[in-house]
């Protein structure tokens, strides 16, 4: 008789090794390249194959960008429709950073390119006390991103508690104006700026 007792993943030897990749919809691959590489420090590992797309051998195109130490990738897949609404927090992608200065570095980079962000913690603490924080921001296509740090020194200006995600909204057209064509297949209409 077969056992009806549930087995854990460990019992079944289903051990996950690491993050391999995650995907994010983007309206223009060049805009994604500029944001994820120039602002967040990623490296392009694979470019799209528009020939395969145009011949019908592939239904989409994507750009693979390594963002992490190791092998984790973000795959920006070309999707000129159906972007997240500005008030959506989910789905989002969260990354862990150990060094609080990395949070400061990313905030400086976001400031330099005028991308709004919020540094958030759950409760107030004395100045300098190490608290867990999340840095929330969006890529130019509205995909919600989060950097988490467990030991960030509390200071004035850190948002405490829940927040309005629409505060992170900015115009995609401002980024689209910074890149050359090439983020969509030839002959395809460019998405309208909003």
Strand segments (E) across 110-181: 117-121, 130-138, 144-153, 159-160
**Could you tell me the domains of the chain?**
21-176 (3.10.180.10)
Q: What is the pLDDT of residue 82?
A: 66
In whole angstroms, give the CA distance from residue 154 to residue 133. 9
Q: What is the pLDDT of residue 189?
A: 46
Do 47 and 65 touch, CB atoms closer than 8 A?
no
Q: How many residues does the chain have?
A: 194
Residue by residue, pLDDT tens for the chain (194 residues) are 566 677 776 666 665 556 778 889 998 888 999 999 999 999 999 888 777 767 766 666 888 999 877 777 888 888 877 677 777 776 788 888 889 999 999 999 999 999 999 999 999 999 999 999 999 999 998 898 999 999 999 999 999 998 888 888 888 888 878 776 656 655 554 555 54
Q: What is the pLDDT of residue 58?
A: 65
Q: What is the pLDDT of residue 125?
A: 96
């Amino acid at each position: 008789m077969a056992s009806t007792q549930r087995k854990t993943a460990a019992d079944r030897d289903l051990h996950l090794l690491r993050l391999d990749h995650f995907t994010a919809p983007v309206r223009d691959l060049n805009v994604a390249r500029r944001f994820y590489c120039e602002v967040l420090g990623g490296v392009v590992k694979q470019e799209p194959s528009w020939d395969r797309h145009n011949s019908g051998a592939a239904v989409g195109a994507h750009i693979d960008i390594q963002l992490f130490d190791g092998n984790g990738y973000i795959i920006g897949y070309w999707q000129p429709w159906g972007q997240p609404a500005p008030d959506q927090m989910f789905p989002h992608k969260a990354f862990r950073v150990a060094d609080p200065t990395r949070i400061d570095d990313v905030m400086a980079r976001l400031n330099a390119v005028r991308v709004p962000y919020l540094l958030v913690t759950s409760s107030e603490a004395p100045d300098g006390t190490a608290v867990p924080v999340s840095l929330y921001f969006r890529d130019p296509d509205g995909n919600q991103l989060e950097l988490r740090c467990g030991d960030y020194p509390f200071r004035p200006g850190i948002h405490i508690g829940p927040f309005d995600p629409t505060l992170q909204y900015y115009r995609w057209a401002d980024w689209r104006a910074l890149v050359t064509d090439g983020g969509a297949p030839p002959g395809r209409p460019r998405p309208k700026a909003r």
